[in-house]
Amino acid sequence: MTPFGERLRTLVDQRGALCAGIDPHASLLADWGLSDDVGGLERFALAAVEGLAPHVSCIKPQSAFFERHGSRGIAVLERVIAESRSAGALVILDVKRGDIGSTSQAYADAYLDPASPLAADAITASPYLGFGSLQPMIDTAERHGAGIFVLALTSNKEGPEVQHARSGGGTVAGVVLDHLRTLNAGVSPLGSYGAVVGATIGESEEDFAINGPILVPGYGAQGGTDDDLDRLFGGSGGNLVIPSSSRGLLAAGPEPAALADAVRRIQQS
């Protein structure tokens, strides 16, 4: 299969860089006039796919909001993945998994092996058991042409106590970025191993030039702006910045046409 980075680069050139998150919060279901049960979840998620997936390069479903509805919620997630891909979008499954050994491999098999009904084009992963703990996921992604977005600098207030800690002369986040830079070295047009960097982290002196994609949650309703993207990444050559908006887009629902209009407004701004 064509590597994820190459597929992403091609699709962004066609559709733009915006990633649309599908996060079925109970409050959003209520805002759409839907019940907080699997029936409401299904109507919400599939309307979001209909309105968003044909118009953006990436769809990012947050797995936890489907998992909380049990096996029937997972079945809805499987449909979201399949229908988003049928509409031409790449799917980044937001699972933030991180474990060791055979458990890490099991996560990789669940989310990155095309034989699984939950297989996505890429996943989010946590490196904070040591970057080497992600090796089963990296090997599986390499085998199947998938991608991984690794948490580097997140915008939650607890993040700095780990991410800003010093390790080997730099920060822990810097070590994560160095590993990604190594994985993507020499790859053209774009590596398949990306970083997750929050749009609202404030100032940063990290080197974000990793020759790979940077997924930037928090864009839009959570406060991230185009100025933030320019400030953080404007001088980082060889990257592809993917701003991700969830609530800002989903607030336009429940009509799929209104969701599509919200995408167009952002893309034209």
The residue length of the chain stands at 269
Cα–Cα distance for residue pair 14/200, rounded to 1 Å = 27
Q: Could you say which DSSP state residue 212 is in? A: S
Using CA atoms, how far residue 51 sits from 65, 111, 139, in Å, is 19, 24, 34
Among the listed residues 79, 96, 164, 247, the single catalytic one is 96
- Cα–Cα distance between 198 and 232 in angstroms, integer? 10
Q: Could you tell me which of 110, 111, 91, 107 has the C-alpha nearest to residue 99?
A: 107
How many C-beta atoms surround the C-beta of residue 167 within 10 A? 11
**Three-class HEC string of 56-115:** CCEEEEEHHHHHCCHHHHHHHHHHHHHHHHHCCCEEEEEEEECCCHHHHHHHHHHHHCCC
Query: Which H helix or E strand runs over 40?
Result: helix 38-52
> Is 96 tagged catalytic?
yes
Catalytic sites, residue numbers: 96
